Amino acid sequence: MKKLKNEKELLKQAIAAGMKYGEDRGVVEFEPTDSAAEKIEYIYRLLVHDKIIKPLPQDQISLLAMKRRLAIWASKL
């Protein structure tokens, strides 16, 4: 797969937008002590559950793949 031009910035945007989405929906309250990996996994699973993004194939789920999927989602916001 081709690397996104500004993937780190897009990932930051995706985390911020995903946190806002989850909190506005009332399903989660993120704590300052939550790690970035926990936030990424929760946001990914929430967006897949709500059918906002397509799920990864079961054998390809990893933190890196979730980061990439969220960055692609953020690029379309």
Q: What is the pLDDT of residues 18-76, one digit of tens each?
A: 999 999 988 888 888 989 999 999 999 999 999 999 999 999 999 999 999 999 999 98
Residue 9: which residues within 8 A CB-CB, separation 6 or more?
Answer: none
Closest residue by Cα to residue 39 from 20, 59, 25: 20
Cα-based distances in Å from 58 to 21, 55, 61: 24, 8, 6
- Confidence check: pLDDT of 4 > 80: no
Q: Residue ranges per domain, the chain?
A: 7-26+38-75
Residue 19: which residues within 8 A CB-CB, separation 6 or more?
Answer: 30, 39, 43
| Mean pLDDT score, 5-23 | 91
Return the pLDDT at 27. 87
Residue 37: which residues within 8 A CB-CB, separation 6 or more?
Answer: 63
pTM score, two decimals?
A: 0.88
Indicate the class that CATH gives domain 7-26+38-75: mainly alpha
